[in-house]
Amino acid sequence: MAEVSEQMVRDALAQVRTPEGVALSVSPVLSGVSVAAGKVYLTLNVEPAQARAWEPVRAQAEDAVRAVPGVVSALVMLTAERPAGIATHNPASARPSGGAAAHAHAPGRPAAGGAPRGAISIPGVKSIIAVASGKGGVGKSTTSINLALGLKDLGLKVGLLDADIYGPSVPRLTGLNQKPEGEGKLIKPLDAFGLKVMSIGFLVAEDTAMIWRGPMVMSAITQMLRDVAWGELDVLVVDMPPGTGDAQLTMAQQVKLAGAVIVSTPQDLALIDARRGIAMFEKVNVPILGVVENMAYFVCPHCGGRSDIFGHGGAHAEADRLGVPFLGEVPLHMSIRELSDAGRPVLVADPDGPQAAPYRHVAAGVKAALERLGTDVKAAPRIVME
């Protein structure tokens, strides 16, 4: 197979015309061309008012790049950034702080009781849930994949989207390193242990630094939601980027989320950030399905003794204080870490073991929470032949 070069990609893009009739290869909107092992990424930076006119160009560019010999996958992202110094008129910004006016909804934020108009939903996917944390390093990705596996074992059809663009973990957690294939104009997700999975990490090398600004990140997440052939799913679990920045807020506002799961560790520092995460979702009317206390305690692999390294019960107490469900605690255990690093999550490698039990408890709690909210996540009846 021929090795793909950036020049080959640009030659293909010369056949695509912008709305002004200029070859895309020489247009100033073209940026961020990345080619690695036959996988091609590029971005088109346009002004917000031009986004609709540029969408057909984006699709044509993707088709042109996929036709280049040696290209195995292509993702063209359309980012609409407002030029510096130009602000959207927002009457709410002129209101004084404090009082009832300060609590008015900003444009694009859903009014009480519903998602914003035009929120992204995926045909065939009944529920999208976000697994989030106020900070990194709390085990959110390990929780996400084991939650997805737990929901699958409850009889649901489940997908997993790794939306952590800067630090994708799903390739390592699943042990997958092959490239997704195309399915028409969509990307076909990979299969991992019966889950449909997608990650930016399947499209770029593991050591590639994603030096992207917020709008580019959100564009990539949107396209992995919209342009992946997810098929029929009861639940799509989204492993969110850590924190409560622009990408997280935009995701919460623009995606039709059925709810969010917050992952925290017991210590006060992590709980402060978890509080911010809960507050962010509540402000955009995304239900909190519950809180998971990860690394709740350490189990010594030699003596089996328990140590509360980060304290204990902080996330449970915080959930009670805020009036949101507590889904359970997961220990800091060597086998969970070793199996995750080996690409064999604990619910796959030791499904009936003691370390799998907490994740199953969390999955059962999430399923129950979705059912309470009226989401159709009941498993199909099983026909048993005797």
Q: Are 41 and 33 in contact (CB under 8 A)?
A: yes
Rounded to the nearest 5 degrees, what angle is found at the Cα of 170, between the Cα atoms of 167 and 175?
125
pLDDT of 379? 53
Q: Determine the 3-state secondary structure of 338 from DSSP.
A: helix
Q: Is residue 113 part of a domain?
A: no
The rounded radius of gyration (Å) of the Cα atoms in the chain is: 22
Considering the domain architecture, whether residues 151 and 56 belong to the same structural domain is answered as no
22 and 145 in one domain?
no
Cβ pair 90, 107 in contact under 8 A = yes
Question: Is position 57 within any domain?
Answer: yes
Helix, strand or coil, per DSSP, at residue 314: helix
374: left (phi over 0), alpha (psi -120 to 50) or beta: left
On whether both 72 and 135 belong to a single domain, the answer is no
CA-nearest of 231, 38, 235, 67 to 151 is 235
Output the domain CATH number for residue 21.
3.30.300.130
Model pTM above 0.75 = no
Q: Per the structure, how many domains does the chain have?
A: 2
**Is 381 inside a domain boundary?**
no
Pair (333, 255) in one structural domain:
yes
- Residue 76 structural domain: 6-80
Structural tokens at position 133: 């944390």
Q: What is the mean pLDDT of each run of 10 residues along the chain (386 residues)?
A: 82 91 87 77 79 86 90 78 40 34 34 49 90 81 95 96 87 89 83 94 73 71 86 94 72 84 78 78 88 85 79 76 87 87 92 92 94 68 40
Say what the pLDDT of residue 241 is.
83
pLDDT at 187: 87
In this structure, the answer to whether residues 64 and 174 fall within a common structural domain is: no
The dihedral built from the CA positions of residue 320, 322, 323 and 329, taken in this order, carries a sign that is negative
- Paired with 41 in beta bridges are 34, 75
Residues 184 and 299 grouped into a single domain: yes
Token pair, residue 82, equals 């407002």
SS3 assignment, position 165 = coil
